[in-house]
Amino acid sequence: MGLIDLGHEADPVLTRVVEEDKVKWWRKRNLRLLYLLLYPTCMGIEITSGFDSQMINGLQFIPAWNKYFGTSSLVKGKLVWNVTGSLLGIINASYNLGAILAVPVVPWVAQKVGRRWSIFIGSGFQCVGAVLQAFSQNTAMYIIARMTLGFGIVFCIVSGSAMLGELSYPKERPIMTSMFNASWFVGSLIAAGIVVKTANIHGDWSWRLPSILQACPSLVQMALVFFLPESPRYLISKDRREEAFDILVHYHAEGDRESVFVKAEMVQIETTIKIELEASKLTWMDMIRTPGMRRRTFIAAAMGLYTQWSGNTLISFYLGKILVMIGYTDTYTKTMINLGNTAWSFINGTIIAIISPRFKRRTMFLIGAIGMLCVYISWITAVRYSVAALDAGTTNKAAGIAVLFFIYSYSPWYNIGNNALAYTYMVEIFPYAERSRGISIEQFFVRGAGFFTTYINPIGMDGAGWKFLFMYIAMICCEILTIYFFYPETQGRTLEELAFLFEDESFADKATMAVEKEMHQGGDGMGEHVEVVEKRPVAGEEIGEKRSV
């Protein structure tokens, strides 16, 4: 488990009860309906992100887009228009820049108005951004449109991923949260297919049409999100205990108000949130106030960086430049290779998202990172021979095919950890009171690292060529070391059983005893009426405000 103390876990009382439930989710009417609603409203949020990255990747193949935003140059006596270098970098990176600007306000909005309203607000921003993007009149307007899209996506990702973890039945929660990132490939595949077709349109609608279609997933979220129940944990934190209990009964016990499991689950959630709020000021300083929170924050930051600095952005945004580097210059060939890679990523990403959560988290992260390292080392060897042949005026078809093979080989290894488990892990390591801020921190580093790489990649490839790939080999090596020494194991526990993973054992024991008492003695599932002191800074001092939990 590495060379540091990875903390402890509460006695998994409820986990053992869940394991005894052998009824499949599709045989539970209410739970089945809940999951059908969660897909388009929460699980499908990353469709927009996947659509965006693949659309920008595909638009680089379309002459009309390059002519509208790019500059001209003479290539073999022919006038060619291209968006290159720093301009291409800032167009791609502006999506992440907008997301960075949203991070400070997203947790406040999510806690103030709830998960559903936060998703609705973020989707609204994305619809506005898509319209601005489609009807952009110049580069500045296009960049602002993409910043607006990025600003909205963080609201949706933070609340949507949390909602999946907080509404799902514990047995299916890991798979539901792992499928969150897998929906990225759905959007990516759709965008790749659309761009292949619109590339044949003469004129600006070849790129304007895909741009406006980017609003479709967000419109679906806005239309359906209020058919979902609110997060029971959010309701409990707002003293709306009866509403939370009704939701748990309806979806986790199929309407059985006498369910021992739901009564115990209710007590566990209430007790855990009460303890969390006693120790939390609900400010950003909470993220570094204690050793446990500092460790969580470090893991969130590291995961955010490595999900973007593992070489994936090179393929997602600049596959066209890579293909030109190894001799593939025909537009149709490039779009079909891109479509094929996207379809392959969708297939393996979805399968891995279903399988990966069944195994230990830390092991899966390590396997994925080591696999990515092997792929990059092999890739850089093949691309070296391919480029050398082109520089000599010949072609090395074997090396070119090998490069394509390793590009296709990359996605399964990336998907094992960084895609399938990223949000599963974030939801698990952060307690409810700090979950929105924790995921926001991860998003800050995701977007910051994404901004850096999407801006630097074209500059680096133009300047260093294939040697630029060495940077990602170094980053993946750092990722492997970080996972090995700092990532704790979280598999096989409910969210409340993981809430005090890094804290004093007495906190976890208190919550466990409350659950055991409820299960052994019975009760109304509503827990004891207790007074909680929530500390808030007023006029430079801390005063206690009592409230019921």
DSSP string, 177-195: HHHHHHHHHHHHHHHHHHH
415 is written with which tokens? 């998907």
DSSP of 327-371: T---HHHHHHHHHHHHHHHHHHHHHHHHHGGGS-HHHHHHHHHHH
Contact in structure between 18 and 261 (CB atoms under 8 Å): yes
Cα–Cα dist 458/465, whole Å: 10
Residues 238, 224: one domain? no
Assigned domain for 292 exists: yes
The contacts found for 532-535 with CB under 8 angstroms, 24 or more apart, are 532/274, 532/277, 532/278, 533/278, 534/277, 534/278, 534/282, 535/281
357-389 tens-digit pLDDT: 889 999 999 999 999 999 999 988 888 888 888
- Return the biggest CA–CA distance within the chain: 86
Helix 139-167 and helix 106-113: axis angle, to 10°?
A: 50
241 and 196 in one domain? no
**Which tens digits make up the pLDDT trace of 391-415?**
777 878 888 888 889 989 999 999 9
Q: Are 195 and 335 in the same domain?
A: no
Domain limits at 168? 23-228
End-to-end distance of the chain based on CA atoms, in angstroms? 37
In a domain, 539, yes or no: no
User: Does any domain span residue 529?
Assistant: no
CA distances 143 to 58, 122, 124, 450, 519, Å, are 17, 18, 18, 16, 56
Question: Is residue 367 one of the residues assigned to a domain?
Answer: yes
Encoded tokens for 171: 């047995």
Q: Are 180 and 162 in contact (CB under 8 A)?
A: no
Q: Which two tokens stand for residue 252?
A: 């986790």
Looking at the structure, tell me whether residues 199 and 246 fall in a common domain: no
Residues 142 and 287 in one domain: no
Q: Assess whether 258 and 343 both reside in one domain.
A: no
Instruction: Report yes or no on 503 lying in a domain.
Output: yes
Handedness of CA 378, 380, 383, 389 (dihedral sign): negative
Identify whether residues 63 and 194 lie together within a single domain: yes
What CA–CA distance (Å, rounded) separates 315 from 313?
Answer: 5
Which bin fits 328, alpha (ψ -120 to 50), beta or left (φ > 0)?
A: beta
| Whole-structure pTM value | 0.77
> Do 186 and 332 fall into the same domain?
no
Check whether residue 220 and residue 261 sit in a common domain: no
- Pair (166, 113) in one structural domain: yes
On whether the CB atoms of residues 241 and 526 are closer than 8 A, the answer is yes
Asked, for residue 534, whether it belongs to a domain, the answer is no
Q: Judge residue 343's burial from the number of C-beta atoms within 10 Å of its C-beta, 0-12 exposed, 13-18 middle, 19 or more buried.
A: middle
Same domain, 262 and 357: no
Q: Distance of CA 270 to CAs 122, 274, 409, 463, 531, Å?
A: 29, 6, 46, 57, 12
User: Running DSSP on this structure, what letter comes out for residue 416?
Assistant: I
- Burial code (b: 16+ CB inside 10 Å, e: under 16) for 360-373 equals ebbbbbbbbbbbbb
What is the rounded radius of gyration, in angstroms, for the C-alpha atoms of the chain?
24
HSE toward the beta carbon, residue 153, CA cutoff 13 A = 33
* 112 within some domain: yes
For residues 97 and 139, state if they share a domain: yes
CATH code for the domain in which residue 320 is found: 1.20.1250.20
Joined together, the tokens standing for residue 359 give 């195994």
Q: Other C-beta atoms within 10 Å of 329: how many? A: 9
Secondary structure (DSSP) of 469-534: GHHHHHHHHHHHHHHHHHPPP-TT--TTTTTTTTS-HHHHHHHHHHHHHHHHH---SS----EEEE
Helix axes 361-391, 397-414, angle to 10 degrees: 160
How do the pLDDT tens digits run along the chain, 549 residues long? 444 444 444 556 667 777 778 888 899 999 999 999 999 999 889 898 889 888 887 888 788 888 888 776 655 666 566 777 678 878 888 998 999 999 889 989 998 999 999 999 999 999 999 999 999 999 999 999 999 999 999 999 999 988 998 999 988 888 888 888 888 888 888 888 898 888 888 889 999 999 999 999 999 999 999 999 999 989 998 889 999 999 999 999 999 998 888 988 898 888 888 877 776 666 788 888 888 889 999 999 999 999 988 988 788 767 777 887 777 777 778 778 878 888 898 899 889 988 988 899 999 999 999 999 999 999 888 888 888 887 777 878 888 888 889 989 999 999 999 988 988 899 888 888 788 889 999 999 998 888 888 777 777 777 777 788 888 899 999 999 999 999 988 887 777 677 667 765 655 556 556 556 655 665 555 544 434 333 333 333 333 333 333
Tell me phi and psi for residue 479, to 5 degrees: -60, -45
Looking at the structure of the chain, the number of domains it has is 3
Residue 515 within any structural domain of the chain: no
